[in-house]
Structure 1
């Protein structure tokens, strides 16, 4: 698949380092960082990014762009590593990304396209939505002024990804992914990674607005293209999962079955874990028990059949009254799961779940 030439991954930003530097300890540490990052080992990536950042200060100087790139790598690694204190990591990532951005501004000025990468990293790593919006707005303005369609579409897509989950999600932010998708659909082949990402994200935007008929063909397009590419991708798995929910909400359970089965074939069943439903209907709290201020729970065993449907639910235990048992059984009958696979075929499997009913006092 093609990638956008202008937005080069930051992990390759030091490809022009001199041969003398590449032969020393820094080179080994940086290479280890690259390998860990590319393999998704976030804890190791963070450790190597920390060391590279420390070594880089002496090698390149604190005000150099090379050192700033190492800071951006570390900021992203801190954001991705969930093993430590989340808030502390995000705060430190924000501080480092801000310092890196300042180095870029000192080198290239405040309107250069070179600032788009560090601005997006800052927007992504900060916990503060206002800071994220400000960073992405600057990046978008620079991208617009550049006159480069690829750059603007890519920046819009990333701005949507970050701002869609904040209080600043508006019709304008929705427009970012709509416009990005339109551009990539016109200028990228159907199996392009960036086009498929934009397609998946636009489908999600439609799904969130309950525009199921608009979301459906987009999710199907993602699935079809990854079939052609012949490998499993998280977006393909996600598209199958969202289509299960979509069809159930549209009252088309028969269409969701093939996607339940597809997920089952892609994702191994773990007998030691409680299975997560692809679609769940929340139980209705019995009004009589609400009026009495009564809380309770019900534990139900059931069979997930070859089509991912719930069969033979039975009450294992409960507390609070029969009303909770009945509400749990009724809700559970509408749930959908990915079936268990054995020897390449879907089979029945046993599972259980506990549903809790609580009255807030």
Structure 2
């Protein structure tokens, strides 16, 4: 389901002599304008979204798609992993089920949003599975569209939290995507490369370096993914104390970074801390080496020992394309990473 902007009510609603209804429409228009102009996160956006929903409930029927849209807006205005966001997403899903039915493709985005907010494995799997079942029934489980959707789930499953349960879920859907891409498009397809790169990242996130190697080698045949796979192979063999193999996979500087061109570093992979408790924050400073690895990772501050340790561990796994000066890769020192989180409790 693709959310579309809800435009201000100007022409769609005819003129009414009833003053109360006219006031409701004015209040709705003002709230929508406030919402659209507010920053992406913050109390003002939440207040405007709530005002728009309140006014909308006085104008539209409960079963109107606009109410679902407004409820979803209010949910997404609240912080990630907050109880309020989760509660309003559930409400929007229930309204959508009542309007479209339990098996409608219109439910998919809401199911994905709910799954992304979950931190209990049984609910994560339930919502992702339901979304994939609906989509698979719509497009066919052997189709490239279904493979792309499984790949999307594998990425989104670890986009908020990086727990072992989420990593298992991510890997399961990446495996499904990999099989379909291989059968339909072959080893050199970008989809096959991306699925295997995700499988490798999930292994690296739990420090299973040797298990990541076959997936990284599978990704080498994709022109787009190969440079990232090579970068990770350098990292893996470096960690395994096999410098000759690490050197054999070193990514050569292409023509775009040769000569006197100066380029900043670019992110290849960033995972987020796992096993970090329900809320907290941490800040670390680190160096990005000329090989694109992180080094000299030091804790600056944080809300507790576990928070600091979790972020320090996550940053040690991050990978970059290094910065170049006059066509040569250089270290970048003093890079700062800060991460804050709050996980809802039901």
Q: TM class by shorter-chain length?
A: 0.5 to 0.7
TM-score with structure 1 setting the length = 0.53
Change (3 A) 1:162 1:56: same
In structure 2, the partner of 1:70 is 70
1:125 to 117, 130, 140: 117
Give 1 or 2: higher helix fraction: 1
What are the Cα deviations for residues 307-342 of structure 1, in whole angstroms up to 9, with x where unaligned? 6799xx9xxxxxxxxxxxxxxxxxxxxxx9976643
**Displacement, 1:125?**
1.6
Asked if residue 225 in structure 1 is aligned to residue 224 in structure 2, the reply is yes
Asked if residue 215 in structure 1 is aligned to residue 209 in structure 2, the reply is no
1:99 to 73, 77, 91: 91
Gap regions ≥5 residues in structure 1: 1-6, 37-41, 81-88, 228-235, 278-303, 314-335, 353-361
Higher relative contact order (CA 8 A, sep 6+): 2
**SS of 2:119's equivalent?**
coil
**SS of 1:43's equivalent?**
coil
Change (3 A) 1:345 1:245: closer
Residues matched between the structures, number: 263
**Displacement, 1:171?**
7.0
Gap regions ≥5 residues in structure 2: 14-24, 267-283, 297-318, 336-346
Asked if residue 242 in structure 1 is aligned to residue 239 in structure 2, the reply is no
In structure 2, the partner of 1:157 is 151
Asked if residue 178 in structure 1 is aligned to residue 172 in structure 2, the reply is no
Aligned-pair Cα RMSD in Å: 5.0
In structure 2, the partner of 1:112 is 104
TM-score with structure 2 setting the length = 0.55
Alignment partners' CA distance in 2, 1:16 and 1:198: 42
1:254 to 247, 254, 268: 247
8 Å contact kept, 1:79–1:125:
no
In structure 2, the partner of 1:28 is 33
Alignment partners' CA distance in 2, 1:71 and 1:139: 20
Alignment partners' CA distance in 2, 1:211 and 1:107: 46
Change (3 A) 1:100 1:245: same
**Displacement, 1:190?**
10
In structure 2, the partner of 1:275 is 286
In structure 1, the partner of 2:303 is none
